[in-house]
A and B are shown apart, each in its own frame.
Chain A
Amino acid sequence: MSSATWRNFFTYNKYAQITARAVRQSLKESERVVAEKRGTTALKYQQWENGVGGPQVHLNPEEVKSVGKSAAV
């Protein structure tokens, strides 16, 4: 936390994710593959109006293909 000016740009959560990503990228090849999976997040949302659901939107479209079976929707 030497350059604490990151507070002007990021929340602590974002800062922690950045340092975690840096640590993951420095692991040896064999462990890095497992660790990288921990860093991926996928989010999809759906807007509902008058009892009708809109289209489901993926926030990270390129990572969706690797996500497994999702909960019943």
Chain B
Amino acid sequence: MSVLRLLSSAARRAPSTFAQQRRGYAEVADKISLSLVLPHQAIFTSKDVVQVNVAAATGDMGILANHVPSIEALRPGMIEVIESGNASKKWFASGGFATVHPGNKLTINVIEAAPLESFSSEAVRANLQEALKVAAGNGSEEDKMEARIEADVYEALQHALGSK
């Protein structure tokens, strides 16, 4: 009888949210010190957080405490910060760099970032259509490249807003 009770309580404790790529067993003791800064605003300044998910140019990555020191360029995409427990906050950033320093510190420098609620999906859709039009048109190669970069940003924004 006690074995059954042990099994059922263990099943209740293990969460089934692995699709969100979050460690879910014991409460995390180690946190990483995060500084998420923009040129005009400091969103976090040396705040202890559990996990940070960033969209690096080489692929999406989740950064936990005691990560190996690394420098990653970010593509325009989401930054998700999990401070404790299951609460997470999301921002969409225009790109920048995430640097893990020795000594368990993470610094993310981006130029523009805003919480997902600050974006308007109609504006994104209109901007994307215009950018695709310029990218497929017959302007200079530079203008078309610029439009393609912008279209990539808008598509990433749409993806982020759609999977809120």
Smallest distance from the beta carbon of A5 to chain B beta carbons, Å?
A: 7
User: Per-position contact with B for A1-39: 1 when CB-CB < 8 Å, else 0?
Assistant: 111011011100001111111111111110110010010
**Is A27 within 8 A of B152, CB to CB?**
no
Question: What is the interface of chain A, defined by CB distance below 8 A to chain B?
Answer: 1-3, 5-6, 8-10, 15-29, 31-32, 35, 38
Of B73, B75, B95, B148, which is in contact with the most chain A CB atoms at under 10 Å from its CB? B95
Number of contact residues on B: which range applies? 20 to 34
* Bound Cα distance A69, B149 (Å): 35
Smallest Cβ-Cβ distance to B111: which chain A residue: A20
Enumerate chain B residues within 8 angstroms of A32, measured Cβ to Cβ: 123
For the complex, is B124 an interface residue (Cβ under 8 Å from A)?
yes
Using known A-B contacts A22-B153, A22-B154, determine if residue A31 contacts B95 with beta carbons closer than 8 Å: no
* CB-based A-B contact count at 8 angstroms: 90
Enumerate chain A residues within 8 angstroms of B92, measured Cβ to Cβ: 23
Contact of B148 among A3, A16, A17, A20 (CB under 8 A): A3
Smallest Cβ-Cβ distance to B148: which chain A residue: A3
**Is A27 within 8 A of B96, CB to CB?**
no
**Is B119 within 8 A of A1, CB to CB?**
no
**Is A23 within 8 A of B73, CB to CB?**
no
Q: Would you list 10 pairs from A and B whose C-beta atoms are within 8 A, ordered by A residue? A: A5-B145, A6-B145, A16-B111, A19-B76, A19-B94, A20-B95, A23-B93, A28-B120, A31-B118, A32-B123
Contact of A35 among B112, B124, B149, B153 (CB under 8 A): B112
**Is A26 within 8 A of B123, CB to CB?**
yes
Smallest Cβ-Cβ distance to A27: which chain B residue: B118
Smallest distance from the beta carbon of A32 to chain B beta carbons, Å?
A: 8
Smallest Cβ-Cβ distance to A2: which chain B residue: B152
* Bound Cα distance A24, B131 (Å): 15
Enumerate chain A residues within 8 angstroms of B95, measured Cβ to Cβ: 1, 15-16, 19-20
